[in-house]
Amino acid sequence: MSTTTATVATTDLDRLAERVERAATVIVELRAKNAQLEAERVQLRRQLDETTSRLQGQDPTTILNELSQLKREQREWQAERRDVATRIEAIAAKLEKIEA
């Protein structure tokens, strides 16, 4: 083997070694990411199972009706709160006139 051929072979081997090292680094990173994603998947599966077991036996229509009722009650309480605030402002204005 001539010096030029040996140099080219060494250079090719160096480049190949660099590529193998980069590939190994990428594989390690991908394995770490895969482990992280697997842990997240397990956690999400557990949360889904817990939620499913809590909702089991409950009719979705009933839940939606209850939610609708709660929203309606919330709107009524907000309207009543605004009404009370308006009355308090009116009373405060009257008190200011009396004091003046």
pLDDT tens-digit series, residues 72-96: 999 999 999 999 999 999 999 988 8
CA separation for the pair 71, 31 (Å, rounded): 47
pLDDT in tens, 22-71: 999 999 999 999 999 999 999 999 999 998 888 777 888 888 999 999 99
- Tell me the residue range of the domain where 88 lies: 59-100
3-state SS assignment for residue 100: coil
Residues 43, 69 within the same domain: no
pTM of the model: 0.45
Question: Structural domain tally of the chain?
Answer: 2
CA separation for the pair 27, 70 (Å, rounded): 52
CA separation for the pair 90, 100 (Å, rounded): 15
Residues 73, 32 within the same domain: no
Residues 10, 52 within the same domain: yes
CA separation for the pair 83, 93 (Å, rounded): 15
Rg, the chain, Cα only: 36
